[in-house]
């Protein structure tokens, strides 16, 4: 993939960071910027910031930051070219066919396994759609089934439904002709390798490497990630044979983890964000039927027990969830235990139970949209109340069963992080069970104490930096250095390097003085002989030097959209503001000085401070050499150097208004 430079620039200019991030996270305006809980790490207090003026994002919790391309790369776990393709598609920017020329050997080697799997899955999605709409078998069996469920053409297209032929290896053969490797198709979960280990010895060698299609003779439900890329499939048989599994799903793969996916979220996220609440159902057809009925804020756990990853994924878009239970749902108490996780994450949960032998799909098709919504409105109840009623059923007056029921409800109440909500539910539960509220609170405290004795050992973050006996969690490389105060004390030049790069990024292209000289020209001429010790700062410094040598003064956007991910990350770190200065300060007559009001003075001060730090380092190094030598000649040399360095240090201290000691 070789996208022309002018197309890349067009994509970067058109990509609005607020719109791009808003496809994955529910943003809220705060001052000039937008805030949200970070999609890259778990948090309850928003530290994720999006600046529309600078077109960058930055999380002050985990440190991730950059432009729209970087965000798509991080959130989708894809390469730089694939992120550009995603944004080009979003903004309807045409990429010329020449960009899709066969990859070079270098590009093939650089292509990751994940990228290859994603491409293969997209191919399979198109294959299944084609078999549904353009083959006699697909139309007679698959399309007829969808039409029987009243799925119209628009909804079939929206969810990209498909059909797999009855043939054993039609997908394999078709994909092979299109030059897709069987090994990648197998890792994508599309093929199964024939196991011949137990076959007789007469099997020939070719049979040992034979593959067959995983999905055969089934209607196909593609599973999309939040960005809309297909990462797996669900297949439903239409046969009545009880020996055939009704549903089969893609196995776990490098791109698909069922515990981290919610079916229909890609199609539903806009509605969820607008309505600020979401329906949670069980199956594919529940989601699709409700969508067709106009109830679009719905997702499914796809038959799996609800996981913490799914809840946190949903929390990006809303904190209000209504769980829709089938009227004849088996093991409903087991399902209730999983929903405790929703409470623990601070979300508001309501529950609706449908009439016997009804599910969301069948009920909405039977009664229509209006009656369905009326039923939801009339029957939705808080999760705690619902759970209490469920556990009260069938216990009669058995005191032991009643005590167990109370413990079950209290175990859910203590998951709620909000103290006022906990208090309300304690009161409500006390009324339902006819028991003193304080007794419930005492029981809750007792359960909490037991849990504290056995804390969950699996909460440690994967993004950690170790230094000595200490661990720093989810920090960027720059922030890690700055978090360790003794590192800075040992090397006080680091903050000065940071400040120089920050000034260059902010004001580098600003013209100062005569002859169209820029601030970058001035600053770099002053530190021409200095090499920065922080690698990423030196990299940015080198980029400035290279461009200025060619007569080009790079501006902020140049670095925000730089192809080097680490450069984009560092740029976002240095440009983002954690706190915004309120306009109210000016109304009160409080003047906040702006740094660019006297850029020359500011930069000169930082230059002088950096030189002072460098001289301090040289003095320390010279003193070490002096202590280690016994040679008279070297002693005299080092003493002369020491005198000159101390004179320079005194001069710089005077410039800074300090007293040198």
Residue 241's pLDDT band (cuts 50, 70, 90): confident
User: Is the distance from CB of 627 to CB of 657 less than 8 angstroms?
Assistant: no
Domain 260-379: which CATH number of 3.30.300.180, 3.90.79.10, 3.40.1360.10, 3.30.950.10: 3.40.1360.10
Question: Structure pTM?
Answer: 0.68
Residue 455's pLDDT band (cuts 50, 70, 90): low
Mean pLDDT of 147-171: 95
Give the residue extent of every domain in the chain. Answer: 5-110, 114-196+205-256, 260-379, 385-408+422-456, 477-655
Residue 91 has what pLDDT? 92
Residue 197's pLDDT band (cuts 50, 70, 90): very low
pLDDT tops 70 at residue 329: no
Residue 145 has what pLDDT? 96
Say which CATH topology domain 5-110 has. Answer: DNA Primase; Chain A (3.90.580)
Residue 157's pLDDT band (cuts 50, 70, 90): very high
Residue 589, beta-bridge partner list = none
Please state, in angstroms and as integers, the Cα–Cα distance from residue 303 to each residue in 113, 281, 290, following that order. Answer: 28, 9, 17
* CA dihedral sign, ordered 222, 350, 151, 294: negative
pLDDT per residue as tens digits for the range 122-141:
999 999 999 999 999 999 99
pLDDT tops 70 at residue 598: no
Q: What secondary structure, in 3-state letters, does 622-659 show?
A: HHHHHHHCCCHHHHHHHHHHHHHHHHHHHHHHHHCCCC
Q: Are strands 278-281 and 298-300 parallel, antiparallel or unpaired?
A: parallel
Mean pLDDT of 196-222: 69
Which of 205-214, 242-251, 324-333, 605-614 has the highest mean predicted lDDT (pLDDT)? 242-251
pLDDT tops 90 at residue 396: no
pLDDT per residue as tens digits for the range 420-429:
888 998 998 8
Residue 465 has what pLDDT? 36
Mean pLDDT of 262-272: 94
User: Is the distance from CB of 339 to CB of 333 less than 8 angstroms?
Assistant: no
pLDDT tops 90 at residue 656: no
Ranges 66-75, 525-534, 562-571: which has the least confidence: 525-534
CATH class of the domain whose range is 114-196+205-256? alpha beta
Residue 212, beta-bridge partner list = 192
pLDDT per residue as tens digits for the range 305-324:
788 899 989 998 999 999 99
Residue 339 has what pLDDT? 79
Please state, in angstroms and as integers, the Cα–Cα distance from residue 195 to each residue in 167, 215, 248, following that order. Answer: 19, 17, 19
More confident residue, 487 or 536: 536
pLDDT per residue as tens digits for the range 71-108:
998 888 787 888 898 899 999 998 887 666 655 666 55
Please state, in angstroms and as integers, the Cα–Cα distance from residue 197 to each residue in 192, 194, 285, following that order. Answer: 14, 9, 39
């Amino acid at each position: 993939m070789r996208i022309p430079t002018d197309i890349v620039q067009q994509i970067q200019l058109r990509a609005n960071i607020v719109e791009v991030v808003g496809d994955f996270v529910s943003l809220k305006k705060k001052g000039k910027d937008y805030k949200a809980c970070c999609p890259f790490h778990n948090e309850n207090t928003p530290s994720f910031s999006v600046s529309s003026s600078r077109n960058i994002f930055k999380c002050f919790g985990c440190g991730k930051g950059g432009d729209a391309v970087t965000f798509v790369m991080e959130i989708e776990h894809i390469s730089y070219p694939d992120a550009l393709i995603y944004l080009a598609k979003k903004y309807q920017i045409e990429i010329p066919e020449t960009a899709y020329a066969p990859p070079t050997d270098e590009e093939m080697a650089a292509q990751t396994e994940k990228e290859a799997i994603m491409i293969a899955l997209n191919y399979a999605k198109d294959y299944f759609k084609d078999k549904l709409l353009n083959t006699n078998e697909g139309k007679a069996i698959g399309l007829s089934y969808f039409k029987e469920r009243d799925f119209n053409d628009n909804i079939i297209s929206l969810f990209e439904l498909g059909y797999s032929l009855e043939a054993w290896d039609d997908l394999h053969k078709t994909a092979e002709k299109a030059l897709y490797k069987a090994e990648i198709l197998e890792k994508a979960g599309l093929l199964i390798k024939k196991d011949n280990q137990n076959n007789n010895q007469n099997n020939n060698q070719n049979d040992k490497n034979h593959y067959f299609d995983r999905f055969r003779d089934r209607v196909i439900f593609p599973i999309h990630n939040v960005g809309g890329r297909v990462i797996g499939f669900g297949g439903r048989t239409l046969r009545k044979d009880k020996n055939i599994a009704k549903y089969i799903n893609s196995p776990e793969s490098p791109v698909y983890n069922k515990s981290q996916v919610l079916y229909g979220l890609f199609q539903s996220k806009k509605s969820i964000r607008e309505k600020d609440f979401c329906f949670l159902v069980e199956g594919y057809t529940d989601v699709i039927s409700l969508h067709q009925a106009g109830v679009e804020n719905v997702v499914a756990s796809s038959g799996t027990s609800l996981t913490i990853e799914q809840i946190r994924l949903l929390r990006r878009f809303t904190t209000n969830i209504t769980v829709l239970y089938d009227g004849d749902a088996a093991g409903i108490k087991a399902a209730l235990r999983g929903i405790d996780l929703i409470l623990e994450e601070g979300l508001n949960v309501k529950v609706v139970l449908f009439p016997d032998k009804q599910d969301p799909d069948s009920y909405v098709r039977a009664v229509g949209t209006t009656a369905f919504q009326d039923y939801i409105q009339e029957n939705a109840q808080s999760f705690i109340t619902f759970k209490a009623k469920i556990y009260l059923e069938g216990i009669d007056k058995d005191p032991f069963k009643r005590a167990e029921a109370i413990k079950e409800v209290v175990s859910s109440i203590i998951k709620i992080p909000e103290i006022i909500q906990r208090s309300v539910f304690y009161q409500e539960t006390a009324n339902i069970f006819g028991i003193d509220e304080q007794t419930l609170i005492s029981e809750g405290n007792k359960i909490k104490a037991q849990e504290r004795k056995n804390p969950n050992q699996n909460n440690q973050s994967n993004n950690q930096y170790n230094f000595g006996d200490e661990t720093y969690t989810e920090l960027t490389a720059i922030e890690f250095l700055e978090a360790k105060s003794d590192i800075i004390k040992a090397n006080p030049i680091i903050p000065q390097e940071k400040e120089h790069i920050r000034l260059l990024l902010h004001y580098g292209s600003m013209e100062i003085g005569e002859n169209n000289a820029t601030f970058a020209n001035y600053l770099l001429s002053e530190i021409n002989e200095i090499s920065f010790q922080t690698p990423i700062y030196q990299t940015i410094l080198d980029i400035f030097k290279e461009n200025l040598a060619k007569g080009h003064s790079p501006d902020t956007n140049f670095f925000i959209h730089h192809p080097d991910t680490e450069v984009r990350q560092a740029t976002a770190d240095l440009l983002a503001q954690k706190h915004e200065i309120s306009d109210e300060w000016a109304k009160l007559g409080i003047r906040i000085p702006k740094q660019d009001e006297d850029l020359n003075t500011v930069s000169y001060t930082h230059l002088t401070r950096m030189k002072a730090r460098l001289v301090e380092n040289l003095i320390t190094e010279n003193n070490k050499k002096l202590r280690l030598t016994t040679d008279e000649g070297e002693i005299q040399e080092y003493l002369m150097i020491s005198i000159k360095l101390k004179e320079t240090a005194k001069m710089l201290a005077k410039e800074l208004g300090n007293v040198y000691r």
